[in-house]
Amino acid sequence: MAERAELEAVIGLEIHVQLSTRTKMFCGCELSFGDEPNVHTCPVCLAHPGVLPVPNEAAIRYALKIAAALECEVAPSSTFHRKNYFYPDNAKAYQISQYDEPLAVDGRLGGIRIHRAHLEEDAAKTIHLGGSGRIHGSGASLVDFNRGGTPLVEIVTEPDLRSAGEAGAWARLLRTTVRQLGVSDVNMEEGSLRVDANVSVRPVGSEELGTKTELKNMNSFRFLERGVEAELARQRELIEAGGLVVQETLHFHPEDGSLHPLRSKEEAHDYRYFPEPDLVPLAPTEAMLREARESLPELPEARMKRYESELGLSAEHAAQLAADPEEAAYFEAVCQGAPGAEAQVVANWVTGELAAALRQAEADGERDKVEPAALAALIGLVGEKKISHGSGKQVLSVLIAEGGEPAAIVEREGLAQISDSGELESIVAEAVEANPEAAEQIRAGNGKAIGAIVGAVMKQTKGRADGGEVTRLIQEQLGV
Amino acid sequence: MAELLELSVAEAARQIAAGELSREEYFEAWRGAAAGDQLNAYLWRAEDGTAAGDGPLGGIPVAVKDLFCTEGVQTTAGSRILEGHRPLYTATAVRKLGEAGAGILGKTNMDEFAMGSSNENSAYGPVLNPHDRERVPGGSSGGSAAVVAGGLAPCAIGTDTGGSIRQPASLCGIVGLKPTYGAISRYGMIAFASSLDQCGPLTRDVTDAALLLDAMQGNDPCDSTSVGIAGGVEAPTRTDLEGLRFAVPAELAHDAIEPGVRAVFEQTLKRIEQLGGEIAEVPLPHAEHGISAYYVLAPAEASSNLARYDGVRYGARAEGGDDVVEMYEETRAAGFGDEVKRRIMLGTYALSSGYYDAYYGRAQQVRTKIAEDFAAAFDRFDFVVTPTSPSVAFGLGEKTDDPLAMYMNDFFTVPMSLAGIPAISIPAGTAEPEGGGPQLPVGFQIAAPAFAEQRLLDAAYALEQAIDG
């Protein structure tokens, strides 16, 4: 068998972010989700004769924030274009978008290059009754223009992603970044964040791009990863069997994870782009650009780097804590309250014990039930060996259920660690005596058998003993 | 009664404001005149009501081209596809006329979607020229020109994309002003070619044009491309042309100008000199390509602007058709006339992938060159003057089979549209049509730099006084 070059994945993403402005991109209708169909409409967004678009200044400011967060270059003057196509979701029969002079270019996020970011308007929502849920074969189509004209920022990456997992992780980073800007709900299920993927493969080491396919309709990160994974597998198999990839758009079916080409009729478009004569060029003032830059909060990527380099967190913990600004703020508040504790220990508690205890209390995500100061005090008690790690978890459960002061809970529940070594020694001696088989095995060199005796001590002390100390005493008493 | 109808708008407004004239009586007189329309100039006439407001146009009835949306009143753009369409809102220009005290007398017939130079492209039949009912009134604002010239309205508004106010004003013997692009809001004016369309007045004299322009101009938050004229305009009073320099394009040796039109033009140049103005030739080397560029750009924009007429949300819908695409096709096939279809096809082609650079891109370059030609001319001159139209009113049906001959009507008006500058047509005399017949009006066009409307109106007024005197 001839040696075959390994094929690497080449993935670029096209992301649509619905901006959470009060009103639509080019008219005064309010944005909404889930309202009665067609209540948020006016002559402008229904494309009545004679109407003209007026750009939403807030949308421009939001887009400039996104451009700043993605470290893009903002064009001194960009133009809107008309993208012409007939479809019922598009009342004007053209979408106002940006074409060869976009708002922003050449950015980066999380090591991935951003090709461009531009402003446009969303289409209306169509519902095709009967058949496949697509327009072909459906008995009737309903159009809800509430969504029509919602401001969108389209972000296009360079094809820098190399696996489905990387694509998913990067899309999550983009979501947390945009969410923190406060310019979008970035909710994939509700469609305020939509991620399409351009997928191709090529021999490792090749600089040329292979023929790509475009994947649409992946309305969760999991579906994004599954869709890209499935398409990569299909392309690899095809090429390895001597076939060629055909450039096409594939529609992801969430029910079974399959990908199906859209009918060519639906995508054979010549959009006849030309500059939108109803709008003047978009030329942000220096003040607008400065405001966008200066309003940027610390973004997840920068925070992650800080957690790793300044706080010494593991990459995994840094990524997990930095992603969500609220969780990050909580983590940092706990760190501040526990100056004696290492940040990594605090991270372990926040992402480990606290998350687990909340889950157990069916209070997932409600970390505010435990005041940062209380958790800091608890971590301090464990660190100073005033209570055992196991007792610490018990205190945490009480904190979630009732609140209060960790020290008072320790006192009330009698959880203070047994500090009298004589008392602990006699409890250990009793446990060794009660477990002769385990003791024999330990003497014979089976280190694992120690667990049974440690467990017995912990049961007797209700977890108030320090595990390390118990182990040391058992080994001492058995002479190993 | 007849005397009432002969008052200029400015004089009638003055008398109404002074309490010398009853606004009801005045409006009623015009309603009666409009009711006698035998020119097919009106598509709708107000059955009651009056111009109730106070202001510079208090009590004045205005005829409005049916391209302007009027809330609750049928607005068809001269097209079958909008038959019965009642807009939910009123165009800014019309609203501003109302705020100045004017009231709508009627909606006037027009070439379908403002595409035409003879008014023969209306889905509701051609408008007849009041000077000779066998002839066209010009277009596309033919109805607005005919009602003013024919004594059916004291004044009117229209729209001009490549000459659609100036050319019918010329052919009907009235004043027609196309302001600077951006002087008046386009909101509510049904779009033909958005980068060229501009609203303007059609009136019996220059003073009335100034009055209407002042009422309508201004920045409108609903139109991002509107800026208004700083300070507005005042009624012109100038009676001489001392120190003003008028440029005649050197390329004017256009063999398609009718001899009678040329004679009136030259006679008018002499009047300018008699009033103290200077005349000289100026090169406008790219103006002759104006028509070619215009008939790429305007149809390109139109092909996009008219794509919304699909029968889904308003207007006429063809029944039948198995799916949405067939419904679109049948609605548009039945709803649009031939000229509109021709321009949609031209424009779609010009914007198509692979042809864009050769057509749309090239036409934009020509447009820039023409604007530069004018800018260079205005470095040395105050105005550029031409005949408005190469001919007097032509016969109904004479050019309908020859679109290119029809397009040449706009030869002198299109360059100013492409450059976005203001231009006015004033009646300069009469000429015998080619092939003989009674004398017909000839218009004289004066163009000025962007937003120099006051200067333009002042000069036009001085010349008008001399011609009338």
Enumerate the domain spans of chain B. 2-216, 246-286+368-398+412-451
pLDDT digits (tens, 9 = 90+) for B119-167: 999 999 999 999 999 999 999 999 999 999 999 999 999 999 999 999 9
Q: Which of A178, A172, A177, A125 is nearest to A153 (CA)?
A: A178
Q: Which helix (H) or strand (E) holds B357?
A: none
**Which residues lie below 8 Å from residue B103, measured CB to CB, with a gap of 6+?**
B27, B46, B49, B50, B51, B52, B53, B59, B60, B61, B62
Instruction: Mark whether A218 and A112 lie in a shared domain.
Output: yes
- End position of a domain, from candidates A397, A413, A429: A413
- Domain boundary, last residue among A270, A294, A318: A294
Q: A403: pLDDT confidence band, cut at 50, 70 and 90?
A: confident
Cβ within 8 Å of residue B368, ≥6 positions away: none
Lowest mean pLDDT among A396-410, B348-362, B405-419, B443-457: A396-410
A374 and A461 together in one domain = no
Q: Which two tokens stand for residue A247?
A: 């450039």
State how far residue B324 is from chain A, nearest Cα, in angstroms.
8
- Residues A394, A466, single domain; the answer is no
Do residue A207 and residue A347 come from a single domain?
no
Which residues of chain A have a Cβ shorter than 8 Å from any chain B Cβ?
A: 43, 46-55, 82, 84, 86, 88, 91-94, 135, 141, 270, 272-274, 277-280
- For residue A80, CA distances in Å to A218, A311, A414, B186 come to 28, 45, 70, 18
Asked if A315 and A357 sit in the same domain, the reply is: yes
Q: Give the separation between CA A133 and CA A232, rounded to whole angstroms.
A: 26
- Determine contact, residues B307/A91, Cβ cutoff 8 Å: no
pLDDT at B285: 93
Rounded distance between C-alpha atoms, residue B407 and residue B294, angstroms: 10
Domain end, chosen from A294, A313, A340, is at A294
Which residue in this structure is represented by tokens 């001399």? B466
Q: How confident is the model at residue A325 (pLDDT cuts 50, 70, 90)?
A: confident
Instruction: Decide: residue B74, CB within 10 A, 0-12 exposed, 13-18 middle, 19+ buried.
Output: middle
Any idea what DSSP says for residue A93?
A: S
Could you tell me if B325 lies within 8 Å of chain A, comparing CB atoms?
yes
Out of B69, B300, B312, whose CB is closest to A49?
Answer: B69
A1 in any annotated domain: no
Q: How far apart are alpha carbons A281 and A283 in whole angstroms?
A: 6
Contact by Cβ (8 Å): A67, A101? no
What does pTM read for this prediction?
0.89
How long a stretch of residues is chain A?
480
| Count of domains forming chain A | 3
Nearest CA in chain A to B327: A88
Query: Which amino acid makes up residue A114?
Result: I
Beta-sheet strand order (sheet of A274-275): A94-98, A80-84, A274-275
Reduce the secondary structure of A209-273 to three states and give it as a string. Answer: CCCCEEEEEECCHHHHHHHHHHHHHHHHHHHHCCCCCCCCEEEEECCCCEEEECCHHHHCCCCCC
**Is residue B357 within 8 angstroms of chain A, CB to CB?**
no
CA A99, A100, A105, A109 torsion-angle sign: positive
In sequence order, the β-bridge partners of residue A214 are: A198, A249
For A139, name the nearest residue in chain B, comparing CA atoms only. Answer: B323
Residue A36 within a domain: yes
Domain membership of residue A209 (yes or no) is yes
Considering chain B, what percentage of its residues have pLDDT values greater than 70?
99
Compare all CA atoms of chain A with the CA of B89 and give the residue at the minimum distance. A43
Give the fold, CATH level 3, of B2-216. Answer: Amidase signature (AS) enzymes (3.90.1300)
Confidence of residue A2 (pLDDT cuts 50, 70, 90): very low
Q: Is B187's CB within 8 Å of A52's CB?
A: yes
- Number of Cα atoms under 13 Å in the Cβ half of residue A85: 16
- Whether the predicted pLDDT of A267 surpasses 60: no
Cβ A109 vs Cβ A141: under 8 Å: no
User: What is the reported pLDDT for A1?
Assistant: 40
Bridge pairing between strands B61-65 and B42-45: unpaired
User: Do both A354 and A465 map to the same domain?
Assistant: no
Q: Which of B313, B348, B357, B359 to mutate to test the interface with A (most CBs of A within 10 A)?
A: B313
Please classify residue A111 by burial: count the beta carbons closer than 10 Å to its beta carbon, then call 0-12 exposed, 13-18 middle and 19+ buried.
exposed
Q: Could you tell me which of B103, B126, B104, B122 has the C-alpha nearest to residue B113?
A: B122
Helix intervals (H) in A362-478: 372-383, 389-402, 406-413, 421-434, 436-443, 450-461, 467-478
Supply the DSSP symbol for B394: P
> What is the ipTM metric for this complex?
0.96
Residues A439, A404 share a domain: no
Task: Classify residue B120 by burial, with Cβ atoms within 10 Å: 0-12, 13-18, 19+.
Answer: buried
Do residues A98 and A160 both lie within one domain?
yes
* Cα of A363 vs its chain's centroid, Å: 21
Residue A467 belongs to some domain of the structure: yes
Structure tokens at B451: 């937003």
Cis peptide bond prior to B140, omega within 30° of 0: yes
Among candidates A86, A274, A279 on the partner chain, residue whose Cβ is nearest the Cβ of B360: A274
Note whether A49 contacts B75, CB cutoff 8 Å. yes
Strand partners, A23: A30
Strand, coil or helix: A474: helix
Report the residue from A91, A135, A272 with minimal CB separation from B348: A272
Name the average pLDDT for chain B.
96
Distance CA(A407)–CA(A35), nearest Å, equals 50
End-to-end Cα spacing for chain B: 25
Does the CB of B219 have a partner CB in chain A at under 8 Å?
no
Query: How many residues appear in chain B?
Result: 469
Residues A174 and A47 in one domain: yes
Give the confidence band of A443 by pLDDT, cuts at 50, 70, 90. Answer: confident
Q: Give the closest residue to B446 by CA, choosing from B416, B418, B425, B421.
A: B425
Q: What is the pLDDT of residue B104?
A: 97
Q: Summarize pLDDT for A78-109 with one digit per residue, the tens.
A: 999 999 999 889 999 999 999 999 999 999 99
Residue in B closest to A83 by C-alpha: B304
Contact A47 B87 (CB under 8 A): no
- Cβ(A201)–Cβ(A239) below 8 Å: yes
Does B231 touch chain A if contact means CB atoms closer than 8 Å?
Answer: no
Q: Is B391 among the residues known to form the active site? A: no
User: What's the gap in Å between the CA of B245 and the closest CA on chain A?
Assistant: 33
Cα atoms in the 13 Å half-sphere on the side-chain side of B42: 24
C-beta separation of B175 from B52 below 8 A: no
Confidence of residue A131 (pLDDT cuts 50, 70, 90): low
Q: A389 is in which domain, residue-wise?
A: 300-413
Instruction: Let me know whether A386 and A431 are in one domain.
Output: no
Q: Which of B122, B164, B170, B226 is catalytic?
A: B164
**Which helix (DSSP H) or strand (DSSP E) does residue B249 occupy?**
strand B245-249
Q: Does B9 have pLDDT greater than 50?
A: yes
User: Is B118 marked active-site?
Assistant: no
Residue type, B381: F
Looking at the fold, whether A65 and A200 belong to one and the same domain comes out as: yes
Q: How far is A96 from chain B (nearest CA, A)?
A: 11
Window from A342-351, A460-469, B153-162 with minimum mean pLDDT: A460-469
- Stretch A338-357: mean pLDDT, rounded? 91
Tell whether A268 is covered by a domain: yes
The pLDDT score that the predictor gives to residue A390 is 84
Whether residues A228 and A287 fall in one domain: yes
Q: How far apart are CA A7 and CA A236, in angstroms?
A: 7
Q: What is the mean pLDDT of residues B310-337?
A: 90
Q: pLDDT band for position A136 (50/70/90)?
A: low
- Chain A residue numbers with beta carbons less than 8 Å from the beta carbon of B353 are 270, 272
Tokens of residue A267, six digits = 């995508």
Tell me what pLDDT residue A385 has: 82
pLDDT of residue B213: 98
- Is B164 among the catalytic positions? yes
Pick the catalytic residue: B79, B117, B122, B140? Answer: B140
